[in-house]
Amino acid sequence: MVTLRFSRTGRKHIRRFRLVATDHRMPRDGRYLEVLGHYDPTEPAQEKKLVFRKDRVEYWLGKGAQPSNTVWTLLRKHGINKATARELRKKASAPQA
């Protein structure tokens, strides 16, 4: 199963995270399928805290990827909710004409 979660980067005491799509069996900072964005919790500007590629996040959600609780909370603040994810999965599973 594919999971959308954060992978930690940065230095000691200076946290930064990458938003990645990864297999759920991989370790937190291990191999990933794709980098989708980044998150800087210390950034004072709200619009720069979480920067991600919305089209790719929606692609993975459409394929059935499960976001972690933290990622899910932040995505909801940016307009991606369960209804959106459900619609994306329906579109992805619909037969192609």
Number of domains in the chain: 1
pLDDT-flagged residues of the chain (< 70):
96-97
Residue 90 confidence (pLDDT): 78
Is residue 22 a contact partner of residue 5, using CB atoms and an 8 Å limit?
yes
Domain housing 39 = 2-93
CA distance 26 to 52: 21
Q: Distances in Å between the alpha carbon of 40 and those of 14, 22, 79, 80, 82?
A: 9, 20, 19, 19, 24
CA distance 27 to 31: 8
Tokens 């590629």 correspond to: 53
Residue 35 confidence (pLDDT): 93
Residue 28 sits at φ, ψ, to 5 deg, of -50, -45
What CATH number is associated with residue 6? 3.30.1320.10
Is residue 34 a contact partner of residue 58, using CB atoms and an 8 Å limit?
no
